[in-house]
Structure 1
C-alpha cells in the first residue's frame, strides 16, 4: 500500500473514532441531563429540547437500555464522495 494512502487511512480512522467517541459521550451526557422520567411521554417531551436534537435516537435507545454504539457510528458516517486520489506530482 502506498505511504500516502496509508497515512490517509490512518488519519481518517482516527478522526472517525474520535467523532464516534465524542458523539457517544455527548449522548450519554444529554441522557444524564434529561434524567429519569416517570413515563415515555414525559421523556419524549424532555427530548424535544433543541439542544438534544442530534441525540434523539440515541436517547431513546438508552431509555430502552439498548446499546448506542452502532447508532453513533451511523451518526458520524462521512458522506460518500470520489475515491481517494493523491495529489498529482507535477
Structure 2
C-alpha cells in the first residue's frame, strides 16, 4: 500500500513563522504559575473520580482551588502593571 503524503507539510514544518515569538513565550512564562496550579487542581479532582471522596481528598481539592485563585489574582495584579512588548497577552 502506498501512502500519500503532502509535500507542503514537509516544506512548511520548519518555517520560522510557525515558532512562537519572544513576546508569546514571555506571556506563557507569566501565566505559568496559573497553569501549574490548574494542573494540580485537575490532578486532585482526578484522584476523587473513581472512589468516594474522603476528608483528605476534599481538603486537597479545596487547597488546590485556593492556589488557582491566588495564582489568577497574582496574574491579574501583575498584568495590570506589566506590559509585554509586541502586544501579546
Greater relative CO, 1 or 2 (CA 8 Å, sep 6+): 2
Q: Which has the larger radius of gyration?
A: 2
Asked if these proteins are the same fold (TM beyond 0.5), I'd say: no
Normalising by structure 1, we get a TM-score of 0.36
Q: TM-score, normalised by structure 2?
A: 0.36
